Amino acid sequence: MGPLENLTIVEMCGPLGEYAAKLLGDMGANVIKVELPTGSPSRKIGPFVDDIPGPNRSLNFFYHNTNKRSVVLDYRNSEEDRNLLLDLIHEADLVIEDHVPDDLPSLGIRYEEIAKRNTGLLWCSITPYGLDGPWSQYGASDMTALAAGGPMSMNGYSPEDVPDAPPIHGKGDLAYKTASHYAVIGTLVALRHRLKSGEGQLIDCSMHEALSSTTEVGLPYWLYTGKNILRQTSRHASVQRTDPWQFPTADEKYILVFGTGRSAESWLDFKKWLQNDGFGLQLDDARFDDPLARQGGRGTTESKEINSELAKFIASKSAEEIYRGAQHRRLPWGTVREPHEILEDNHFRSRGHIVSVSISDANKEHEMPGAPYHLSSTPWELRLPAPELGEHTDDVLGDLQDHSLRDR
């Protein structure tokens, strides 16, 4: 059982915040997902099983809602359901919600009032821009959040690869997931304070601030030199243009190259690897012995020559051969893989990273990624597949009536 097994959570989230509740549920928390009769907005987001939309057919919903139970309450229109929601929250340790800032208060669902009865309650609001401020009423999609928060300005193409290319939105809802990571961190920190003091509190999680904290050297460059870094193809944005890192292979994939040997020993090893195949014979020249001359990003003729030989070498081989060959020489290179290729890699399978789940309407076990971390005595665990809409309404409301919501 996970470390959070004694926690009861009421979640009212769509795509922005539901990953946070999954992270907690996957580690043992009792997550009750409260949905309107129309269902969470993420049930309408594909891909769908067999490409047929339906509230219980979204693979997007399915992945982000494991280890939760679904309760339908029409808290927008029904006073009775609103009261049931308030009763549920009264029994809970934590509420996670991603409504726009004034929405729930306008329905009479206010943290400040509920906390008078349940003083230990933690309430995590995940919003695009935070609970106050001039942009607090602004909406966001995953793309617009990555735009405002800064990561997107660093992703894209060098002008020689794609002229006039815009900043690029990497797919996978990583803005929502970054906000969710910060929400979970804040929640766990607040939980520790509650353990010591008994006090609950409001956690104001702004996706904008989470993303603005996720831009690596972007801020230091501005803060210390007043320069914005420039986008380049599949490598770090930088003040000066640097050499390419990404090379096509013989089997129409790409290899991401990270360093060609910093120490003398690893340089020799690298050189021998290419030369065994007849590439890079000129790399024996003494002018390549200086590690600074070899370093990409300094614009030396040496680093350009190394890259040109490397490109030919990589183009002659399969991605797998280059990847394994590099790693066996302690070079941290990787194949640019498609998401599903993790399933075909025995390393991750042998670590138990791949899990099988049954999917409603698909009647079959399917594989997907499982644990992001392995905790030795309280491991990640798939106890429940994502719920059908309202699947647990009767169970949960029955338990609420019997005051046994927390017994599982």
DSSP H/E element including 205: strand 201-206
| Binder of another protein out of 8, 118, 246, 266 (CB under 8 A) | 246
Query: How many CB atoms are closer than 10 A to CB 77?
Result: 10
Asked if residues 75 and 81 have their Cβ atoms less than 8 Å apart, the reply is yes
Interface segment toward another protein; rule CB under 8 A; list 80-88, 137-145, 270-278, 286-294: 137-145
Asked if residues 272 and 280 have their Cβ atoms less than 8 Å apart, the reply is no
226 in helix, strand or coil? coil
In whole angstroms, what is the distance from residue 178 CA to residue 156 CA? 20
| Binder of another protein out of 16, 23, 31, 73 (CB under 8 A) | 23
Q: What angle do CA 18, 169, 245 make, to 5 degrees?
A: 120
152 in helix, strand or coil? helix
Q: How many CA atoms lie within 13 A of 211 on its CB side?
A: 27
| Binder of another protein out of 82, 90, 236, 312 (CB under 8 A) | 236
Restricting to residues 348-377, which ones interact with another protein according to CB under 8 A? 348, 350-351, 353, 359, 362, 366-377
In whole angstroms, what is the distance from residue 358 CA to residue 366 CA? 6
Restricting to residues 27-86, which ones interact with another protein according to CB under 8 A? 27, 44-47, 49-51, 59-60, 62-64
Restricting to residues 374-393, which ones interact with another protein according to CB under 8 A? 374-378
- All residues at 6 or more sequence positions from 18 whose CB lies less than 8 Å from its CB, including other chains: 11, 33, 40, 42, 64, 65, 98, 180
Instruction: Using the minimum distance from each CB to another protein, give the nearer residue, 223 or 286.
Output: 223
Restricting to residues 195-214, which ones interact with another protein according to CB under 8 A? 195, 199, 201-206, 208-210, 212-214
Asked if residues 8 and 23 have their Cβ atoms less than 8 Å apart, the reply is no
| Binder of another protein out of 40, 56, 67, 178 (CB under 8 A) | 178
Residue 84: CB minimum distance to another protein, A: 27
In whole angstroms, what is the distance from residue 2 CA to residue 239 CA? 45
The β-bridge relationship of strands 254-256 and 246-248 is: antiparallel
Restricting to residues 94-123, which ones interact with another protein according to CB under 8 A? none
Interface segment toward another protein; rule CB under 8 A; list 71-79, 154-162, 266-274, 279-287: 154-162
Interface segment toward another protein; rule CB under 8 A; list 85-93, 282-290, 342-350, 390-398: 342-350
| Binder of another protein out of 54, 55, 120, 167 (CB under 8 A) | 167
Instruction: Using the minimum distance from each CB to another protein, give the nearer residue, 86 or 362.
Output: 362
Instruction: Using the minimum distance from each CB to another protein, give the nearer residue, 86 or 382.
Output: 382
DSSP bridge partners of 37: none
Residue 116: CB minimum distance to another protein, A: 15
Instruction: Using the minimum distance from each CB to another protein, give the nearer residue, 259 or 390.
Output: 259
In whole angstroms, what is the distance from residue 150 CA to residue 218 CA? 8
Restricting to residues 278-337, which ones interact with another protein according to CB under 8 A? 327, 330, 332-337
Residue 94: CB minimum distance to another protein, A: 12
* Residue 153 found at the interface with another protein (CB under 8 A): yes
Interface segment toward another protein; rule CB under 8 A; list 73-81, 159-167, 269-277, 310-318: 159-167
| Binder of another protein out of 8, 82, 86, 233 (CB under 8 A) | 233
Instruction: Using the minimum distance from each CB to another protein, give the nearer residue, 77 or 225.
Output: 225
Residue 272: CB minimum distance to another protein, A: 20
With contacts defined by CB under 8 A, how many residues of the chain interact with another protein?
A: 149
b/e for 188-198, b at 16 or more Cβ within 10 A? eebbeebeeee
Residue 18: CB minimum distance to another protein, A: 12
Cα→Cα distances 125→22, 103, 205, 363, Å: 16, 11, 6, 36
Our CA dihedral for 131, 136, 140, 146, rounded to 10 degrees, sits at: -80
Asked if residues 97 and 13 have their Cβ atoms less than 8 Å apart, the reply is yes
| Binder of another protein out of 347, 402, 403, 407 (CB under 8 A) | 347
